[in-house]
Amino acid sequence: MFEAIELGRSVEKATFEVEVEQLRADLIEAQRALRGSEVPVIVIVSGVEGAGKSAVVNRFHGWLDTRGLRTATFFEEGEEERERPPYWRFWRSLPPRGTIGMLFGSWYTQPIVERAFERIDEAEFEHRLRRISEFETMLARDGALIVKLWFHLPRDIQTKRLRKQLQEEKEREGKGKKGKGKKGKGKKEKEKKAKKGGKKEKRAEEDDLSATLRDYADNYERFASVSERAIRLSDIGLAPWHLIESTDKRYRDLTAGKILLEALRSRLAEGKVSHTTAPHTPAQTSELSGKTVLDTVPLDYVLDRTDYEVRLKKLRKQIRALSWRAHEEHRSTVVVFEGWDAGGKGGAIRRLTGSMDARLYQVIPVAAPTDEERAQHYLWRFWRYLPPAGAVHIYDRSWYGRVLVERVEGFARPDEWQRAYKEINDFEEQLTEHGIVVVKFWLHISKEEQLRRFEERERVAYKKHKITEEDWRNRERWDDYLAAVNDMVARTSTGCAPWTLVAGNDKLAARIQVLETFAQRLEAGLKR
Amino acid sequence: MFEAIELGRSVEKATFEVEVEQLRADLIEAQRALRGSEVPVIVIVSGVEGAGKSAVVNRFHGWLDTRGLRTATFFEEGEEERERPPYWRFWRSLPPRGTIGMLFGSWYTQPIVERAFERIDEAEFEHRLRRISEFETMLARDGALIVKLWFHLPRDIQTKRLRKQLQEEKEREGKGKKGKGKKGKGKKEKEKKAKKGGKKEKRAEEDDLSATLRDYADNYERFASVSERAIRLSDIGLAPWHLIESTDKRYRDLTAGKILLEALRSRLAEGKVSHTTAPHTPAQTSELSGKTVLDTVPLDYVLDRTDYEVRLKKLRKQIRALSWRAHEEHRSTVVVFEGWDAGGKGGAIRRLTGSMDARLYQVIPVAAPTDEERAQHYLWRFWRYLPPAGAVHIYDRSWYGRVLVERVEGFARPDEWQRAYKEINDFEEQLTEHGIVVVKFWLHISKEEQLRRFEERERVAYKKHKITEEDWRNRERWDDYLAAVNDMVARTSTGCAPWTLVAGNDKLAARIQVLETFAQRLEAGLKR
């Protein structure tokens, strides 16, 4: 594959200058059109070491309007990042709609490096690549333009460049040491660094870097073959790769610029509805020809108050201890509450939070997205609030809004909510793979019980705020919601993140069921 | 001070239940009014160990509508937090306007603990308390309602409670160990933990916690006296303390609830203009009776191109090496670019970024704030983008907009932009105290030169996007801007963060001045 682009192409300085003048004007024009669009542009800057990835990005900083341009670099994962699933840091770096984000290396770097050094096996490598394709497909279907650039160098030229790079590094190191020798005054800042072992750690990292560079050169063939496989596996129609010969800098930069321009132009020419480019097979929706999964919920179950008090007390104590233990063991938990209006979400959440130390949990109320959130894929705002190590995050309504209210009210197009099931399953799989305990509750009540509660809410002063016109409107669409809930449970109740259907007509019974389920799931999670 | 509230107050269960019903309805009502207001509510939950701070916050979760409520806990600083000035994590946790944020301990915990254990001396303690008062004053003047709750326990009761707490902890620990014994299967998650020394570290932390609890009890008097001083020093009119006797839980919770309710009611009764509550002495604005500081800029200085090329090449190499060294030494840099429209900011920024590896810098273009940013103090969005360790963040326009465009266009009231000088100086002081190098450029050109460039921009295709109606409008207010710039430089060119006035009529000279200044300042910063 790579040999096919080792053609020794180059561009004369004079030609370059003429072409660049036009290219700049065109890029700026395209960027302006982009600004008014719904399209986020993700430019992946990848390729072999020494090909000049940083230089290309610098060039783009010169050519483009920097007001709509951000870059993201992925050095070693930081602590906050290690506490979340691996893709958390990529989600954080996604550009908002109407802007361009240049990502160095991105999600490709680790799978390639780890496979080349045989830290992961072939099956794991393919699993990672599949995840990448799913991720990119999801973003592209949501309207993102993904431009993937691979900068290539022939072996001999790479070796030469890396050698030069290593030399420069050594020079820098020499100077760095001299610089350090000069410093004597003990300062707060330095103590801080010393405390976290700053310098030594840094030195080790650098040795590591040099070693890595040498490894890259020594392992040219290995890298070339792993990279080629990575490119082939991820060269999907919605996000194709562009291989760029990088021996000549002018050719490299001009080509990269033209590819971006072309991609922008053709994407923007598609117009606003263009995120339906890919055809989708419609998902099956449940025919309401009989029973739904909610009919299995024993709504007539009633718990008496004495029994409730005894079990509540025991469960509270148990959950208190479990949640502290989870905190100590860095085990995080994500709890999802969905349910009918007046289904008792609030009360159940309060019993749950009341059982834990207030420093261990967060309730994430999901209301209308902010404009920053609207400028991203709908899952973005949920990734945003993933818990740090050892915390419990409780989502009061969740990403399931996509297949519930957005489906029923038509806020999402059929192709959008239909593909959401898979996107959600993938999302939750990433959570559980990372060791996060996922607990999902649907608070079920009968239609009659809902009416009783609505009427009660209109009577009691401190409950009044809970009932709005919207609740009554939703009630009229009960059957549509029933179909949506049935599909949701059928398609997203997975082994690692099963739904618990809570029998909610009796509030006391419902709360105990929630607390008991939570305790069981957390305990099981702690044993993993 | 504390003896005065050791009165043994308590509330009967029956009374409590009646009062709570009313309180809940009132709180919900107040919260609804809050939602439509511009007021962010910061509730500081502080006080002695064992007083039940977590229980109070749980209670608030039960009473309030959680959709407008967030809590923030400050455990040990994380890595991302340690890389920024200490207040970064507090800024991140501030509630948006219209919502309530409950902060555990917050900015008071560390100064009190460190002073009680004599890790800091009296002068440092007072410095920290002064910073707190300035911070709270700033937020309050911006419209925030700050409710500071201190939960107190008499000595004997605290000792009893802590003993119980320690016992529970030991029990938990025992169980935890048993639990851990059961686990055998090597899993990815565990490896990860082991890698960062998870368990051992955790164990150490816990021992530390027990030790701390014992210390708290043993050092009751010390803590009481340091806390009392902290409270006195920070009991400012705009953010007063409320001391709450916490022996009886019902009295404690009811009192806390009533204090919050009263604070909300009186603050919301003040109406929309209420953030001018405190009278301000107007700042002096420069009389344009003659020269401004900008007259000192040698605008006729010209650099010839050969000279430019030689110096540019040398500077690029120097900056490349310096920026890598800064990265290695974890030294961060904040660069501010302000200047006249068409003053050459873009070109100067490109020369600067072109001298560094693209992985080391970020350009932060400052345009209209997002709605999340508008829901916060104006400095919030700049804190948000502070660089991680070893990075260079370049602000293309900055917080100085407050005293430039916002002043001139009347987007900020006089009292707002007048107090901004001090707020900005305090902000930059925090940056430099943390070891961040701060470099600020004003790109100056003459009024005639600006006209020439405006006209050029309208001619050249790829420059056209740079010139708008607004630029022409701004030009008409040249003299107002001149006064604003003069005041800005006079009042914010500090020892740790001086302004560099760039002679911009000659673009080449301007770029060299920018690069040279940057190199000098970074080099000096590395020697600190």
**Do the chains contact at B328 and A176, CB–CB below 8 Å?**
yes
pLDDT band (50, 70, 90) for residue B222: confident
Q: Residues 6 or more apart from A27 whose CB is under 8 A from it?
A: A63, A64, A257, A260, A261, A264
Q: How far apart are CA B136 and CA B233, in angstroms?
A: 12
Question: Cβ–Cβ of A82/B358 closer than 8 Å?
Answer: no
Looking at chain A, how many residues does it have?
528
**CB–CB contact B66 A371 (8 Å):** no
Which of A61-70, A278-287, B399-408 has the least mean pLDDT? A278-287
Residues B435, A330: C-beta atoms closer than 8 Å: no
pLDDT tier, B373 (very low <50, low <70, confident <90, very high otherwise): very high
Query: DSSP of A72-109, one letter per residue?
Result: E---S--HHHHTS-TTHHHHHTPPPTTSEEEEESGGGH
Q: Please tell me the total number of residues recorded for chain B in this structure.
A: 528
Mutate to test the interface with B, among A27, A67, A362, A522 (most CBs of B within 10 A): A67
Least confident of A109-123, A398-412, B236-250, B263-277: B263-277
Q: Are B101 and B95 spatial neighbours (Cβ–Cβ below 8 Å)?
A: yes
Domains of chain B with CATH codes: 2-156+220-271 (3.40.50.300), 293-527 (3.40.50.300)
Mark A275-294 as b/e (b = at least 16 C-beta within 10 Å): beeeeeeebeebeeeeebbb
Mean pLDDT of B143-156: 94
Cβ proximity of A59 and A253 under 8 Å:
yes
Partner residue opposite B353 with nearest CB, options A61, A82, A362: A61
Q: Which residues pair with A366 in a beta bridge?
A: none
SS3 state at B101: strand
Calpha distance B134→A273 (Å, rounded): 51
If we measure between CA atoms, which residue out of A409, A419, A437 comes closest to residue A500?
A437
Q: What's the mean pLDDT when you consider all of chain A? A: 87
- Average pLDDT in the A475-482 region? 94
Whether A528 and B189 lie within 8 Å, measured CB to CB: yes
Distance between CA A217 and CA A48 in Å, rounded? Answer: 10
What ipTM was reported for this prediction? Answer: 0.83
Question: From the CA of B212, how many Å to the nearest CA of chain A?
Answer: 17
Cβ contact, residue pair B330, A198, below 8 Å: yes
Considering only CB atoms, A362 lies closest to which of B21, B32, B71, namely B71
Interchain contact, A187 vs B435, CB within 8 Å: yes
Position B195 pLDDT exceeds 70: no
Share the mean pLDDT of chain B.
87
Q: How far apart are CA A321 and CA A327, in angstroms?
A: 10
Alpha helix positions (H), A410-497: 414-433, 447-459, 469-476, 478-492
* CB contact (8 A) between residue B328 and residue A206: yes
Q: How far apart, in whole angstroms, are the C-alpha atoms of residue B357 and residue A172? A: 14
| DSSP character at residue B126 | H
Q: Amino acid identity of A216?
A: Y
**Residue in chain A nearest B329 by alpha carbon:** A199
| % residues pLDDT > 90 (chain A) | 71
Contacts of A359 in chain B (CB under 8 A): 54, 71, 73, 75, 104
Please tell me which residue of chain A has the smallest CA distance to B183.
Answer: A527
Residues B440-462: pLDDT tens digits? 999 999 999 999 999 998 888 77
Residue B324 clears pLDDT 50, i.e. is over it: yes
Q: Looking at CA atoms only, how far is residue B83 from chain A in angstroms?
A: 10
Is residue A467 predicted with pLDDT exceeding 80? yes
As a whole-number percent, the residues of chain B with pLDDT over 90 amount to 71
pLDDT digits (tens, 9 = 90+) for B36-50: 999 999 999 999 888
For the full predicted model, state whether its pTM sits above 0.95.
no
The answer for residues whose C-beta is within 8 angstroms of residue A510's C-beta and 6 or more apart is A344, A347, A348, A443, A502, A503, A504
Q: Testing the interface with B: which of A65, A127, A328 to mutate, by most B Cβ within 10 A?
A: A328
Tell me the chain B residues in contact with residue A358 when contact means C-beta distances shorter than 8 Å: 53-55, 57-58, 61, 71, 73, 104
Mean of the pLDDT values across residues A117-126?
94
Put simply, the answer to whether A61 touches B358 (Cβ < 8 Å) is yes
Check pLDDT > 80 for residue A35.
yes
Query: How many alpha carbons lie under 13 Å from residue A311 in its C-beta half-sphere?
Result: 17
H or E segment and range at residue A438: strand A437-444
Residue A122 or B165, more confident: A122
Residue B198 to residue A330, Cβ atoms within 8 A: yes
Q: Is A213 exposed, middle or buried (0-12, 13-18, 19+ CB in 10 A)?
A: middle
Nearest chain A Cα to B345, which residue? A66
Q: Would you place residue B217 in the very low, low, confident or very high pLDDT band (cuts 50, 70, 90)?
A: low
A483 alpha-carbon distance from chain centroid: 28
Enter the tokens of residue A7: 């053609």
C-alpha to C-alpha distance for A465 and B32, rounded to whole angstroms = 8
Scanning the structure block, which residue is given the tokens 């008496």?
Answer: A304
